[in-house]
Structure 1
Amino acid sequence: MPLPPSARSETHAGLLYALLAYSVWGLMTVYWKAVIWVPSVELISHRVLWTLVLILPLVLLMQQGQALQAVLRRPRLLGVLAITATLVSINWLGFVWAVNNDRVVQASLGYFINPLFSVLLGVICLRERLRKWQWLAVCMAAAGVVWMAIRLGEVPWISLLLASSFALYGLLRKFTPVTATVGLTVETLIITPVACAYLVYQSISGSGLAFASHGWTGMLLVAASGITTALPLLWFANAARRLPLSTLGLMQYLAPSLQLALGVFVYHESFTRDHLVAFGLIWSGLLVFSLDTLHIQWRQRQTAKALSI
């Protein structure tokens, strides 16, 4: 049965928002390379501050001020958001460090395996049961990581850090009753004192800050980190309201695909036959996982139709 015009319009808008969000996340490597003169920790500190400068007025313009105040009055919820703020900061810092140290390919690997980390967390923390094809997908991804560790002589720790920190972040936020915008605002408010303390320490310790070392152009470029953080999140929130989770789940691979392409073809990072085998195993696992998820959802829809007749 074809969708009515209004539903098609909503779907098209959702696809556009998702494309914008995942494209910016995938191409953000270019931005971090453009501000590579700023050390990673200082850069993340600025990212926190400029994100707060941008998103706090947005929350008020979107008339979510009351929701923000309600969260700030709940100590237990603030405690959970303090943990998620720490996790997202670790993820941000890990990614920026990877870009600054020519590990874009490893960073992309982390975001490819992130969905399977989320599945494992569901098994460990929520006692969810995996279907046989899901177990196969997880095992194939694990085999890819082990292959890389053995053949390349190093554990892809930055990939594992990015995947695990973001999977844990997603798990905690799943049970946190706040919107994406309000949640990011509170997380940013929580981590801002740490960011300010670091910047003040650097400025008075003799090391100095790199922020102003490239004049006004450089300062504006660093300040743009607030826009590159907040806008994709808002686009993603709009996409999530309009699209099925299965569609979002498939589109999320756009970001690491763009990161991988940039790492190999633009920044000329190493991508050997051993890398291809490792990524091939992980991609195959993701394909198995995605096909199994789509098949189950199709069966559920068919069952619902049969029961409605």
Structure 2
Amino acid sequence: MAPDAPNAALRGLVAMIVCCTIWGLSPLYYKLLAEVPPLKVLAHRTLWSLVFFAGVIALQGRLGELRAVVRPGRGLLLILAAAVMISTNWFLFIFSVQAGRGLEASMGYYIFPLVAVLFGVTLFSERLSRAGWAAIVLAALGVAQLAFGLGAAPWISLGLAGSFGLYGVLKKMITAGPVLSVTAEVLLLAPLALGYLLVTGMMPGGGSAFGTDPVQTLLLLAAGPITGAPLILFSYASRRLRLASVGLLQYLNPTLQFIVAVAIFGELFTPWHGIAFAMIWTALALYSGELFLADRRARRARRSVAPAI
């Protein structure tokens, strides 16, 4: 291990905790924009994210790389598809918070890792252990009993998990790095976002006081760094932490969302929710335990074949 490795791991740990804390507490931010229609919030989030990311890569002297990423071809089609998936995910999350359904949003991000694993098995022929399959089945049963108990499927949860899972699939096929690729994604979406804001701004009762109300204007401008900063922290942490650590720490995000929805927003938590979350948490414990043990076995194997000094 390099002399600086412990410090690098510690910095990665701090970055990951800050990243997931921002994500987990973001419902508080979007609740402050409850008077702005979700599509309008999404449009502002897209535009100010583009400004933020473009500024970052400009400081890095990588604008030329961005031009290469958006050249016509298969890569551009993949980025366009990824843009559709991430904008869908962003809209569902904003809508869920504003509609008082943050609990469903937290469930979506709890089941996302299992959805991602299922996509890996079906689309990339990845192998899954018995514990992994048990986790997926248990989570599916939890969602099914919640749908039965409430008389409706948790569509927001499924939509968030599915859109983010497909986004992950597309990102595996995109060769550009995470910051560069997401910049290209919001760049492709920016004309639609700008057009929407211009058209709705000309209509009476547009639902936004951007440019006239200083508080609302600052809140909407903040959508850029609130979206971009956690992604940069996540990228930084992922290069310095083991995969198992990254996977486990990510559960801080939906846990904070869950606490905010129930303890701060006062959303209804029924016995059906209790059973569903208990089953999903058990499924995640199975999956995370398997991931942790696999990581330990891999590190032991590497140590056993390391040459003696």
**Shorter chain as normaliser: what TM range?**
over 0.9
Which of residues 164, 170, 175 in structure 1 aligns to 2:168? 170
Residue matched to 2:73:
75
- Aligned counterparts of 2:43 and 2:119: Cα–Cα separation in 1: 29
Deviation at 1:141, TM superposition (A): 0.4
- Aligned counterparts of 1:122 and 1:35: Cα–Cα separation in 2: 36
Cα–Cα, structure 1 residues 103 and 214, in superposed 2: closer, same or farther, change >3 Å?
farther
- Aligned counterparts of 1:304 and 1:55: Cα–Cα separation in 2: 37
Deviation at 1:207, TM superposition (A): 4.3
Residue matched to 1:6:
4
- Quick check: 2:85–2:167 contact (8 Å CA) kept in 1? yes
- Aligned counterparts of 2:291 and 2:10: Cα–Cα separation in 1: 22
Q: TM-score, normalised by structure 2?
A: 0.95
Deviation at 1:112, TM superposition (A): 0.1
- Quick check: 1:199–1:209 contact (8 Å CA) kept in 2? no
- Quick check: 1:23–1:254 contact (8 Å CA) kept in 2? yes
- Aligned counterparts of 2:298 and 2:53: Cα–Cα separation in 1: 39
- Aligned counterparts of 1:93 and 1:167: Cα–Cα separation in 2: 15
- Aligned counterparts of 2:55 and 2:302: Cα–Cα separation in 1: 44
Number of equivalent positions: 307
Aligned residue type for 2:298: Q
Q: TM-score, normalised by structure 1?
A: 0.95
- Aligned counterparts of 2:5 and 2:298: Cα–Cα separation in 1: 21
Deviations 1:188-246 (A, max 9, x none): 11000111121122123444351338611211111111110111111111111111111
Residue matched to 2:201:
203
Residue matched to 1:50:
48
- Aligned counterparts of 1:73 and 1:119: Cα–Cα separation in 2: 31
Residue matched to 2:246:
248
Residue matched to 2:297:
299
2:220 is the counterpart of 1:218: no
Residue matched to 1:120:
118
Which of residues 135, 138, 152 in structure 1 aligns to 2:136? 138
- Aligned counterparts of 2:37 and 2:23: Cα–Cα separation in 1: 20
Q: Which runs of 5+ in 1 are unaligned?
A: none
- Quick check: 2:78–2:173 contact (8 Å CA) kept in 1? no
Residue matched to 2:233:
235
- Aligned counterparts of 1:235 and 1:137: Cα–Cα separation in 2: 29
**Matched residue SS, 2:42:** helix
**Matched residue SS, 1:108:** helix
- Quick check: 2:35–2:207 contact (8 Å CA) kept in 1? no
Aligned residue type for 1:35: L
Aligned residue type for 1:198: Y
Q: How does 1:13-92 map to 2 (within 5 A)?
A: 13-92=11-90
Aligned residue type for 1:120: L
**Matched residue SS, 1:242:** coil
Aligned residue type for 1:288: L
Cα–Cα, structure 1 residues 308 and 145, in superposed 2: closer, same or farther, change >3 Å?
same
- Aligned counterparts of 2:255 and 2:127: Cα–Cα separation in 1: 29
- Quick check: 1:211–1:222 contact (8 Å CA) kept in 2? no
- Aligned counterparts of 1:287 and 1:262: Cα–Cα separation in 2: 22
- Aligned counterparts of 2:265 and 2:299: Cα–Cα separation in 1: 45
Aligned residue type for 1:171: V
Deviation at 1:254, TM superposition (A): 0.3
What root-mean-square deviation, in Å, do the aligned CA atoms of Structure 1 and Structure 2 show?
A: 1.5
Deviations 1:251-307 (A, max 9, x none): 000000000000000011011222111000000000001111111222222233333
